[in-house]
Amino acid sequence: MLCDAISRTLADTCPLDHVRECAEGTVPFIDRVRSALGELGIWGMMVPEQHGGLGMTMLDAAVVAEQLGYAVAPVPFIGAHVLAPLALAQCGSEELKAHWLPRIAKGEAQIAVAIAETVEIRDRAGVDFDGAKLDGTALFALDFLEADAFLVADTAGRIHFVPGDAAGLEKVSLTTIDRTRSVGELRFSGVTGEALADDDGCTSRRLRDAGRVLLSADSLGAGQAMIEKAVDYAGQREQFGRVIGSFQAVKHMCAEMAARHEPCRSLVWYAAHAFDATPDEASLVACHAKSHTGEVHRFVARTSTEVHGGMGFTDLLGLHFWFKRIGFDRQVLGGPEAVRAEAAALQGWTQVA
């Protein structure tokens, strides 16, 4: 029912022309799509009930992420409405919870999340905390545009809450291949934040697991859309007096996409279920889901484009929106190689450097 409700809402409010307008910057990301989803209560789904939310599970959030990926919806979700409320509910002070969680649930506030450095640190990136101030650079803050505050991981894995108007904070919008998402860079120069209560990096690990599950679910939805578009096109495009879908080579391409894609659904849904039901294995299955869907849907994106032939590369069809979204999902919070190495270390097969 949740899947159907989100799907119908996005079909009505998020046509490809609207996605293109958002990507080109002619209309804002914070628009009618977000308003429509807010009416369904999506923005408060991960906020505890005592703070005005719905208190739903990661599996519910994964279902929503899958539909957002299917529609390449240009709305904030993973960082602002899943990771942020999770972190505040788990480790935030009572003051932070009381002030921010009800506003998040109502769609009145947005908190961006920057935890990419807990996976890999690029040259000259990383945020240091000296016990009082934050200094350094955090890359790839998710749901950056219009953010009222930020949750930032330091080099030790601690999470800090930083108001958007904090002194010494510089905010720079980043352009990525995925123009349907808002991503930014945060530069800290003696910035005062509030460190969340933590237990040996548990919060950053949980946020990383949740982010990987949701990126996998988003990729799952985008992959499904690309397969359907390829099959529809193959059933209409004619060559040599026949629709190209009647050629065995094209049939095999479509069948191979479906055969690789469909098992990903159970993997992603189980990883989302494990986040709440079996926390001891949540990190491992999140790694499996992230790495496997990253590889599978890169294949799907490439093959779907090939089925479309030269038209697949044109802006007219807009296939590139799904192609680039899958590429973004694949790399953020660790590409397949990095995530597999982490999974090996979790199982004791290797040692973390």
Q: What is the mean pLDDT of residues 321-347?
A: 96
- Answer yes or no: do 214 and 334 share one domain: yes
pLDDT, average across residues 29-37: 79
Q: In terms of domains, do 99 and 131 share one? A: no
Q: For position 352, what pLDDT does the model report?
A: 59
How many Cβ atoms from other residues are within 10 Å of residue 339's Cβ?
23
pLDDT in tens, 244-254: 999 999 999 99
In this prediction, residue 29 has a pLDDT band, given cuts at 50, 70 and 90, of: low
pTM equals: 0.95
The answer, yes or no, to whether residue 15 has pLDDT greater than 80, is yes
Q: In the predicted model, what is the mean pLDDT of residues 209-231?
A: 98
User: Percent of the chain at pLDDT above 90?
Assistant: 86
- At residue 259, the pLDDT reads 98
Mean pLDDT, the chain, as a whole number? Answer: 94
Report the pLDDT averaged over residues 306-326: 93
Is residue 352 situated within a structural domain? Answer: no
Token pair listed for 55: 């208190």
Top-confidence range, 32-36, 123-127, 288-292 = 288-292
- If you average pLDDT over residues 277-300, what whole number do you get? 97
On whether residue 353 sits in a domain, the answer given is no
Q: Do both 61 and 76 map to the same domain? A: yes
Q: Is the pLDDT of residue 27 over 70?
A: no
Give me the number of domains the chain comprises: 3
pLDDT of the residue at 69: 98
Question: What range defines the domain where residue 85 resides?
Answer: 2-106
Among residues 106, 134, 157, which one ends one of the domains? 106
pLDDT of the residue at 124: 85
Could you tell me if 213 and 242 lie in one domain? yes
End residue of a domain, out of 82, 106, 130: 106
Decide: 293 and 345 in contact? Cβ < 8 Å: no
Do the beta carbons of residue 256 and residue 227 sit within 8 Å?
no
| Residue 206 sits in the same domain as residue 132 | no
How do residues 194-206 score in pLDDT, each as one tens digit? 999 876 678 899 9
Whether residue 351 lies inside any domain: the answer is no
Note whether 95 and 231 are same-domain residues.
no
**pLDDT value, residue 188:** 98
Mean pLDDT over residues 99-119, rounded?
A: 96
Contact in structure between 162 and 169 (CB atoms under 8 Å): yes
